[in-house]
Structure 1
Amino acid sequence: MMETNTALTAQDVADILKIAKNTVYELIKRGELNSYKVGRKVRFTLSDVEEYIANSKCIQKPLSGRIASLEPAPLTSPTPMVSRNDFIICGQDLMLDVLSSQIEKLAPATRTLRSYIGSYNSLVALYQGHVQVATAHLWDGDTGDYNIPYVRRLLPGIATVIIHLTCRIQGFYVPKGNPKQIYTWSDLSRPDLNIINREKGSGSRILLDENLRLLGQSGQSINGYRRESQSHFAVASTVGRGGADVGIGQEKVAHQVKGVDFIPLQKERYELVVKKEDFNSTPVQTILEILRSEEFRLEFEGINGYYIEEMGNIIAEI
């Protein structure tokens, strides 16, 4: 079980963030990542890494390999550093960082930026014209569908195209061995459990709230419901170090955190949403070319937690 004050090496941090070891040292030099020294060796605590993740809350250039859980506060207006001609992709998955880098290689005239915000706020930002690509994994409990019902509600009067990226498995993070035998949504209301929740607007939070609604349960009656975390990684690590009995998140993150088992619940659809007026633009057509390429598929074919059979398919035109 990884404690908050466990000493981590630069390589440990690189593995957690899915970046190069040299990038870790660069983050230290820029004052973005806290560290300490034991003799001549640089060391970190898990709380240093989580603080770095929490502080990475701005639109930024894609950093190939950056952990998918970096996410900012809701984007409400363009920042002065963002040009009107910039192409902004919302979302938190590692796949989007790799996609952004590929766009700039194939369409060098396009400056591609990333905004690490959740699904609900991503669609709102697209509606408001602040971004060009939103991503969503939002489940509707009444229809059992992903994303289409939310695109219709949150982008009224705007013609959109939904492009499939990947499927992922959502489920529970529980301590190794699942000592409290947590398997279903109804288990979360047990008085002996404490959860760690995601922030409002994230796909995982909406999945929880929709399932509670269908069960006729109030989130307010669940221990820990008001305790929010900003990333899948932070949720899993909280469970892994004994700070909560259960959290909700993606399968692939469970493989990165010690002391955690994963209880699969549902396959979700993770998709891109663009305005139809932008569909024939060079950046969007470049995205389709990349997603349908064998090279891009091979990047993710062997990674646990990605199901890419439908990658690049047009799912709906709304």
Structure 2
Amino acid sequence: MLQDTALTPQEVADILKIAKNTVYELIKRGELNAYKVGKKLRVDFKDVEAYKNKSKTVQFNQVNQLNNTVDDNQISLETLSPPLYESTSSRDFVICGQDVILDILSRYLEFNLRGSRILRSYTGCYNGLFALYLGKIHISTVHLWDGDSGEYNIPFVRRMLPGVPTIILHLACRIQGFYVAKGNPKNIKGWEDLKRQDISIINREKGSGTRILLDEHIRLLGIDNNSIPGYSRECFSHLAVASTVSRGGADLALGNEKTGLQVKNIDFIPLQPERYELVIKKEDLNKPFAKAVMEIVNSENFKTELEGLGGYDISETGKIVAEL
């Protein structure tokens, strides 16, 4: 029966008329059920149909709530907020973050913490820190830039986890910059170009480190964010905003260099390095999951795998950069 048919990610992409990378994003976010056959991902046809039916309801409700200035082309799955998974058992381990580095870390943890469930929440790091403060997750990633101090992460961790002793463990440095159309037809050079009325943007969701980076620079430039064409349009990931620029849906988006290299018809304008790090409560440091994370991140195998990905500076990987 068709309902029992197993589909490849490419076949799912063809059915939904989306890119195969978007299928992987949906699976990662838990919005589309999938399973492995050997090393290959498969999706049942019935789950694709269930996903389509659920999406129709969600999108209809969102359309009624969105501002009329948002283009219909931007009302898509990419505007949905990712779920925040919470542990339901003492054997569960929840880590918040979106970068591919965490895919690698999760794989190592699955091997080291036999019998535990490694749960990934793809929510932004601002919300991740809040969830860590509330005790809903175990570790949060963080890449939050403070415009007043020019410092990454420490100011936000201090403010958002008051009275909670923590450590900040360094994973890698990445380059943040603008995605623009191939050849940069609008001659976009830097942050000052956000003042131009002939440039439209596609934004990241509230709570993401990239959104906060943009908002901090807008604040420092004294720009009214409502004056920026496209500011209210949101997508969930670097890949989604880069794809929007590639399709001509916006002139500019902010994201990391590595993702931009994966998308056709995109040029990348580097703006600043960012620090991508983990926040762990000190009270958890003697627990098996925290010990495993510390051991993995400092291992040569893990560092070698990150180096092989390209696009990351791993010179400080595994270093405790702050105790708060």
Specify the TM-score bucket, using the shorter chain as the normaliser: 0.7 to 0.9
The answer (yes or no) to whether the contact 1:123–1:155 under 8 Å persists in 2 is yes
Q: Distance in 1 between matches of 2:93 and 2:245?
A: 36
Is 1:190 matched up with 2:190? no
CA RMSD of aligned residues (A): 2.7
Larger relative helix fraction: 2
The answer (yes or no) to whether the contact 2:97–2:140 under 8 Å persists in 1 is yes
Residue type at the aligned position of 1:30: D
The answer (yes or no) to whether the contact 2:79–2:235 under 8 Å persists in 1 is no
Q: Distance in 2 between matches of 1:7 and 1:260?
A: 23
The answer (yes or no) to whether the contact 2:79–2:234 under 8 Å persists in 1 is no
Q: Provide the TM-score with structure 1 as the length reference.
A: 0.80
Residue type at the aligned position of 1:126: L
Q: Among residues 134, 137, 142, which one is paired with 1:136 in the alignment?
A: 142
Please list, as runs of the form range in 1=range in 2, the aligned pairs for 1:80-229 lying within 5 A after superposition. 82-229=88-235
What stretches of structure 1 move > 4 A for 4+ residues in a row? Answer: 6-10, 18-24
Residue type at the aligned position of 2:312: Y
Q: Number of paired residues?
A: 278
1:242-295 alpha-carbon deviations (Å, 9 max, x no partner): 000000001111111111110000100000001110012111111111111111
Residue type at the aligned position of 1:204: T
Q: Distance in 1 between matches of 2:304 and 2:112?
A: 18
The answer (yes or no) to whether the contact 1:161–1:279 under 8 Å persists in 2 is no
The answer (yes or no) to whether the contact 2:91–2:115 under 8 Å persists in 1 is no
Residue type at the aligned position of 2:262: Q
Is 1:274 matched up with 2:288? no
Q: Among residues 6, 13, 26, which one is paired with 2:43 in the alignment?
A: 26
Structure 2 residue aligned with 1:238: 244
Residue type at the aligned position of 1:127: Y
Q: Distance in 1 between matches of 2:165 and 2:44?
A: 41
Q: Distance in 1 between matches of 2:108 and 2:149?
A: 35
Structure 2 residue aligned with 1:3: none
1:90-144 alpha-carbon deviations (Å, 9 max, x no partner): 0001111211121121121432211111010000000000000010100001111
Deviation of the 1:224 alpha carbon? 0.7
The answer (yes or no) to whether the contact 2:105–2:296 under 8 Å persists in 1 is yes
The answer (yes or no) to whether the contact 2:173–2:275 under 8 Å persists in 1 is yes
Q: 1:152 to 1:227 in 2, by over 3 A?
A: same
The answer (yes or no) to whether the contact 2:177–2:257 under 8 Å persists in 1 is yes
Q: Distance in 2 between matches of 1:189 and 1:292?
A: 43
The answer (yes or no) to whether the contact 1:139–1:207 under 8 Å persists in 2 is yes
Q: Provide the TM-score with structure 2 as the length reference.
A: 0.79
Q: Distance in 2 between matches of 1:14 and 1:184?
A: 28
Q: Distance in 2 between matches of 1:25 and 1:251?
A: 30
Flag structure 2 segments of 5+ consecutive residues without an equivalent: 1-12, 28-35, 53-72
Secondary structure class of the residue paired with 1:213:
helix
